[in-house]
Structure 1
């Protein structure tokens, strides 16, 4: 599943080709994605100009005068910039065509993605209860300590809760907890304020590094596959069950937390 850095890279990849451009047409070949693509968008979008491309959690927002087009990549989706008129393949479900002769194409084999709309001045229900962005000033030790107070839920599950903080998926939660030296199984309410402060720093560092590395794939959005390099950064624990820890040499262990696998080092994380 595309994580926050991959979605951010996608935003940066399509922005130069869409910002300031007028929408010519919306072509919907398969409206039944995770939610039905609103039928009125085919009539509403042509003539509008994209003012800004930005991200909220894992949603890509194309801001226009009348509101925002929301795109979610789901489990397997990707966006690609192509010349208008490029023939569509089996899983190419939605095209947004622009006045510069280009289009952005949503490809989504599993159809768990979404194309939705929010009117100007309103917030879509899917965005209303989201927590702060992890790279924002709102996500700090005071905020996280308050969210973890008296909580028996594991610290990893807590920081992966989008109501607490958005976009910290399994990969980056695992890596940040390792860097902070915190056992992912530890109850959130039992993690000291000092260690929560370290975790905030590491969440921001790991995500920022992944976004920076993703920047090297921006060329892929034009004429390429439109998919950022998800695993370009060197991972310390995620997906490395049974391998030696890169820091101490101990064999990494795996547990299940909230139906998700979690790899950690019993020596480095406590």
Structure 2
């Protein structure tokens, strides 16, 4: 947490404010999060123009360019991070670790658990794909090549239960715990079913369910389960409309059966045994 929908909501929130802005300075208050923040950012980034804000999996990619040079600021929100715009004179709070100083405001990164990432990849935007943290990422579930044929071929090699497989970021990115449970509920597929035992036809249903679930989550502003908030301080509300997530012991909204909660790969899984097979 945050997962793909929350990061995409963040991207949509900050991109209009960042595009075309020139970086005036950088403030680093915590030299190390999950990885060390390159101290050279203080010298490298001033003068760069922000030309694009992209997302790859759960990473934000801020593409910058200046005088024949280019590079990408790579940001991961970790488990508790958030980005917000603040006035230039607003004093930092305890967990405000990084400021990207712009002409009229600051993009401030806060992360109470310090598990986020702020790194720099020199070179054109395509070079970011080769960064070790990005190169290992799986397919984007909202991309055109996430198809029934692709998913069926990928799952046919996995004998583990389908829900943990869907959450494997080396296979497909951004389908976190809540979205895996909800996608399988939409598709009517049990999270206990072996991935290799899901037919090509049902993979098509699952692809549509994943896309619908993630799209609905983005439209709802993501899910605020713990301390996730938007760049404007607001909260996501997808969790309120969830079909099975966090509804253990309650009636299934589709068949009236009882929603169950089990543990899979150390995470809580919610499903309806009555209509998920």
For the aligned pair, the TM-score class normalised by the smaller chain equals over 0.9
Kept in 1: contact 2:10–2:230 (CA 8 A): no
Q: How high is the TM-score relative to the length of structure 1?
A: 0.94
Q: Give, in angstroms, the shift of residue 232 of structure 1.
A: 5.3
Give the alignment's Cα RMSD to 1 decimal.
Answer: 1.7
Kept in 2: contact 1:76–1:110 (CA 8 A): yes
- Which of 240, 260, 264 is the equivalent residue of 1:257? 264
- Which of 114, 118, 121 is the equivalent residue of 1:115? 118
Runs of 4+ in 1 over 4 A off after TM superposition: none
Secondary structure of the equivalent of 1:173?
helix
Secondary structure of the equivalent of 2:216?
helix
1:187 equivalent in alignment to 2:194: yes
Kept in 1: contact 2:220–2:237 (CA 8 A): no
User: 2-side partners of 1:95 and 1:267: how far apart?
Assistant: 50
**In the alignment, which residue of structure 2 is the partner of 1:104?**
107
User: 2-side partners of 1:248 and 1:84: how far apart?
Assistant: 54
User: 2-side partners of 1:231 and 1:205: how far apart?
Assistant: 12
**In the alignment, which residue of structure 2 is the partner of 1:140?**
147
User: 1-side partners of 2:71 and 2:255: how far apart?
Assistant: 52
**In the alignment, which residue of structure 2 is the partner of 1:202?**
209
User: 2-side partners of 1:88 and 1:230: how far apart?
Assistant: 28
**In the alignment, which residue of structure 1 is the partner of 2:56?**
56
Structure 2: runs of 5 or more not aligned:
none
Kept in 2: contact 1:133–1:165 (CA 8 A): yes
Q: How high is the TM-score relative to the length of structure 2?
A: 0.91
Q: Within 5 Å, which residues of 2 pair with 1:147-162?
A: 147-162=154-169
Secondary structure of the equivalent of 2:152?
helix
> CA 1:55–1:150 in structure 2 vs 1: closer, same or farther (change >3 Å)?
closer
Kept in 2: contact 1:177–1:199 (CA 8 A): yes
Q: Give, in angstroms, the shift of residue 230 of structure 1.
A: 4.9
Kept in 2: contact 1:244–1:250 (CA 8 A): yes
> CA 1:129–1:220 in structure 2 vs 1: closer, same or farther (change >3 Å)?
closer
Kept in 1: contact 2:221–2:238 (CA 8 A): no
Kept in 1: contact 2:71–2:122 (CA 8 A): yes
Kept in 2: contact 1:210–1:233 (CA 8 A): no
Q: Give, in angstroms, the shift of residue 228 of structure 1.
A: 4.1
- Which of 72, 75, 87 is the equivalent residue of 2:79? 75
Q: Give, in angstroms, the shift of residue 167 of structure 1.
A: 0.4
User: 1-side partners of 2:160 and 2:230: how far apart?
Assistant: 40
Q: Give, in angstroms, the shift of residue 175 of structure 1.
A: 0.3
User: 2-side partners of 1:142 and 1:120: how far apart?
Assistant: 35
Kept in 1: contact 2:220–2:238 (CA 8 A): no
Structure 1: runs of 5 or more not aligned:
none
Give the aligned length. 264
1:127 equivalent in alignment to 2:130: no
